[in-house]
Amino acid sequence: MIDKQKITSKLYMLLVCALLGFAVSVQLKSVQLNNTSPSARYEELQQMYMSEQKKNASLQDQINQMQSTITNYRESIEQTGTTYIGMEQDLLRAENLAGLTDVYGPGVIVTLSDAKNADPNMPAEYFIIHDSDMRSLVNELLAAGAEAISINGERVVSTTAIRCVGPVVIVNNTRSGAPFVIKAIGDSAALENALTMPGGIVSELRNWNIGVTIQKSDRIDMKAYSGSVTFKYVTTAKSKEN
């Protein structure tokens, strides 16, 4: 981060040095003039006086330039500082969107459990939670404005894959089984309404006796995504090619 105070202090020191140089120069010449013999010629005194006037004018020009430079530096520092703060805020927003930071906020906590009363005359897979169920639920939360989501502690990001492998579900290459706790940060009322609307995903799951509980919370803490975010094939598109 730019050290505004340090830079400004150095610039003011330059100005002080210039002012001191000006004062010393005037003092020395004053001593020389005072020690001049009364018999010195008027022309010589006049030349010395004009020379000092030129030097003083030159020093004053330097002081004015330094003052102008200090003003420019101050304005530049202030503008750069504002730009830096804006860039820092943009970076933070990007990291939040990418799921790369720990976050917290209000929202809902949804717990999914396999059905306890399965119909023995129907296939067992009808009464357990599948990856498609969780993807549908996550999509509903995102559509309702969820700003951050996690499944059993795994942060959902743009590269998150939710898929079944045998009796378990893999999220971000991490295996987990029921019950599944899905947390979402956002407007808790809007998120709950989106999930419980007639004919929605929760209604469908409950029709198969899948256990679904929805709890609103004033504060949900969520860890950042801890997996790899490197890309091998994606290249940033440029507006102009060289």
Give mean pLDDT in consecutive 10-residue pieces for the chain, a chain of 242 residues: 52 52 48 50 66 70 68 66 61 68 94 81 75 90 93 89 83 87 95 91 88 95 81 68 50
pLDDT, residue 91, reads 63
pLDDT, residue 141, reads 94
pLDDT, residue 239, reads 53
pLDDT, residue 33, reads 46
Global pTM reads 0.60
pLDDT, residue 31, reads 44
Distance separating alpha carbons of residues 184 and 167, to the nearest angstrom: 25
pLDDT, residue 67, reads 63
pLDDT, residue 46, reads 67
